[in-house]
A and B are shown apart, each in its own frame.
Chain A
Amino acid sequence: MSYTATVKHIYEDQIKSIRDAGLFKQERFIHSQQAADIEVEFPPGAPSKKVINMCANNYLGMSSHPEVLDAAMDGLKCRGYGMSSVRFICGTQDIHKILEDQITDFLGTEATILFPSCMDANAGVFEALLSKDDVMIADRLVHASIIDGMRLCAAENDSFKHGNMEHLEEKLRLHADKRLKMVITDGVFSMDGDTARLDQIVALCEKYGAMVFVDDSHASGFIGKTGRGTHEKYGVVGKIDVITTTFGKALGGASGGCVSGRKELVEICRQRARPYLFSNTIAPVVVAGVMRVLEILSQSTERRDKLERNTEYWRRGLTNAGFILKDGDTPIVPVMLFNAKLSQDVSRDLFSEGIYAVGFFFPVVPQGQARIRTQISAGHEIQHLDQALEAFIKVGKKYEILGKTKQEIIDRYGA
């Protein structure tokens, strides 16, 4: 079928409806390395503007760390650019195996398998491990990639209210007759910045004979005393059956992900997970970079400690200024505005003030829960945070939201 005017119109109409709904996503071009200080061209064609980045997943400031760049360049020179093959034909180098072992040690699991991304890990893992006699019970706020992975799996799916252990227990009782049960959660929830109570989830899963799955993409490298992740924070290292995580955030920020956990489960993924079987794995240059990141993080907790201090400073500053924040202690700090248009207006004004922070609204977050999601990094210095705080206060005063309650903001701007 050729690309007729009728076909073209179908897609034009879809694009128009996305625009009309205010959901059209527009990229902003960064003319610098990823860091706390970046130069951004926005709108397209505008001269690039120096801004402080408050919306990257660069939690540990490793994306442009000189030692990581050097290691990546060495990897490029020693192992080349690409593999031109999937893993099980001729696409596995020694460094892929070394990185898998390094991650296993870092996360305190039994084995690890690399995937091209954590999206791919989540897309492949459920179908590989579970079948129609089984059930997956997921927290309602898990990442979209988990939902996509669950859709690809023949096992029955169910969900429990976000972080609600009574509801989870109800569901575990409901599905007591299933052959295999897997409880699925994010470690840190990306929109709210709260953590899953893995100690309680593990206890319930032990009681009802269920496996535990955690996507720790927003945790690996900095949550827990030594940055191992949410399982370290809640004292359940070694008790999580499947951890998926990404190297596209704190662990260098390039790309790639993995499934790490019980050795039999990892082996089944190696035999059956389709994104692993039918796609090239992570390029050698990225593997070498991630290996160096893990070495740096294993030598010292300095960066995650700094991130923790920065996060406390930022949360305290915003709270004292009179903003409403989502409770939590992670570097994801949502500033609640409730109204979708207000979140877009505040984001735009912050950008004018040299602060890059994005507004999120329905359907990305629940109706009436619009917000600016700020993300703190160990790459931020106190002066970055002070400058950002000054801009937030200036914009907050303009919209008269400082010190106001949720109801007062909704009464003025709508939900």
Chain B
Amino acid sequence: MDEMKDVILKYVKNEYLEDEDQEIGYDTPLISGGIVDSFSMVSLKRFLENKYKISIPDDKATPEAFDSVTRIVVLVNQFVK
């Protein structure tokens, strides 16, 4: 679980942070905090699906479910076998 958290946090930092000095944690709001816009969520969803060999239905891939690393881990674990 912790490893998944760190993998996703690292991806979010590399993929979305414009300012390298910006610090984010597991519970930093990503969508509502303006770090990941709803359009760019697509690449995050694709990353999770490829990395964990899962398929996240569109109705589950909501801005709320993607709003922090902690929430994303909960979402991913629903689909990991």
Chain A interface (Cβ within 8 Å of chain B)? 140, 147, 150-151, 156-159, 161-162, 362-363, 366-367
Q: Which residues of B contact A140 (CB under 8 A)?
A: 37, 40
Complex CA–CA separation, A309 to B37 (angstroms): 37
Complex CA–CA separation, A158 to B40 (angstroms): 7
Contact among A157, A161, A363, A366 with B42 in the assembled complex (CB-CB below 8 Å): A157
Q: With A363-B34, A367-B34 as given contacts, are A159 and B39 in contact (CB-CB < 8 Å)?
A: yes
Does B78 make an interface contact (CB < 8 A)? no
Q: With A362-B34, A367-B33, A367-B34 as given contacts, are A162 and B18 in contact (CB-CB < 8 Å)?
A: yes
Contact with A along B20-46 (1 / 0, CB 8 A): 000000000000011001011011001
A-B contact count (CB 8 A): 23
Complex CA–CA separation, A147 to B46 (angstroms): 18
Chain B interface (Cβ within 8 Å of chain A)? 16, 18, 33-34, 37, 39-40, 42-43, 46
A159 close to B43 (CB less than 8 A): yes
Complex CA–CA separation, A114 to B21 (angstroms): 45
B34 close to A147 (CB less than 8 A): no
Complex CA–CA separation, A123 to B18 (angstroms): 27
Q: Which residues of B contact A161 (CB under 8 A)?
A: 16, 18
A159 close to B34 (CB less than 8 A): no
Q: Which residues of A contact B33 (CB under 8 A)?
A: 367
B18 close to A147 (CB less than 8 A): no
Complex CA–CA separation, A157 to B46 (angstroms): 10
Q: Which residues of B contact A159 (CB under 8 A)?
A: 39-40, 43
A158 close to B42 (CB less than 8 A): yes
Complex CA–CA separation, A140 to B40 (angstroms): 8
Q: Which residues of A contact B37 (CB under 8 A)?
A: 140
Q: Which residues of B contact A362 (CB under 8 A)?
A: 34
| Chain A minimum-CB-distance residue to B16 | A161
B8 → chain A closest CB, angstroms: 18
A364 → chain B closest CB, angstroms: 11
Complex CA–CA separation, A156 to B42 (angstroms): 9
Closest 9 pairs between A and B when the two form their complex, measured CB to CB: A367-B34, A159-B40, A158-B43, A147-B39, A366-B34, A157-B42, A362-B34, A161-B18, A162-B18
